[in-house]
Amino acid sequence: MLAEQRARAILQQLSQHQTVSVTDLCQTTGASEATIRRDLNALARQGKLVKIHGGATTPEEEEFLAREPDLATKQRYTREKERIARYAAGLVGDDDVVFLDTGTTALHMAEYLKDSKALFVTSSIDFAGRLSAHERHVYVLGGTLKPGTVDIVGAEALDALRRYNFTKVFLGVSGISISQGFTTPDPEAAALKLIAASRAQSVYVLADSSKFGRVTAATILPLERARIITDRMPDRKYLDSTSVIAV
């Protein structure tokens, strides 16, 4: 079967099933795995599909957000964020060393961690204040105060993070996309989140269902690098790239 014929066969399978595996495509076309993977790479570059672990899926209907959401937008989905925060806090044991990211969902976790004996590191002054009010053990990263917020970013914060090892990291994001991964509008914040994740045994992304299918300016991680805790999964195809916990 010629390359053009294989491409048509692959896209036909995608139109019927939305997600296809390399193994199934080999059986359909009679081509080797190496050939199918090359075909998938070529079609992905053309924007006709999105490569995932072991196969491909149809491109998402993505909403691109160029700027940080305003405060009113961030304060939406409060009930859902509280459910996510309660579940996430339940994953924290007394022997954990935890990095807690900025964001409204992570901030809700403070209420459920007020009796925890874990050691916490955070880039959020708000979060640190809430935990320290309950006499919890909290380290705050040094660095630059992000304009308009009480969040720490910058080179000093990145250097400080590299001195820690975490059992668990909880990240906030602005977008979740199969093609672009976890994203945030601020490249400095993305760099900090990436370093924190690289120092962790387990990485969790806290995201209400509105974040799915969104892309913002800076990619943090590919989906397979973290587990998602959310209120609702809008499409099961995300399970081909990562694990999703809907609470």
Tell me the mean pLDDT per 10 residues along the chain, length 247: 90 86 93 94 86 82 67 70 97 97 91 94 94 91 87 95 97 92 94 97 96 93 96 87 94
- Please, which residues have CB within 8 angstroms of residue 159's CB and are 6 or more apart in sequence? none
In the chain, the amino acid numbered 44 is A
Residue ranges per domain, the chain?
Answer: 3-59, 65-246
| Amino acid found at 53 | H
Query: 3-59, what's its fold?
Result: Arc Repressor Mutant, subunit A (1.10.10)
- φ, ψ of residue 95 to 5 degrees: the values are -95, 5
pLDDT at residue 94, rounded to an integer: 96
Question: Is 0.85 surpassed by the pTM of this model?
Answer: no
Burial of 196: CB neighbours in 10 Å, binned 0-12, 13-18, 19+: buried
pLDDT given for residue 74 in this prediction: 59
Please give the pLDDT value at position 34: 94
CATH class of 65-246: alpha beta
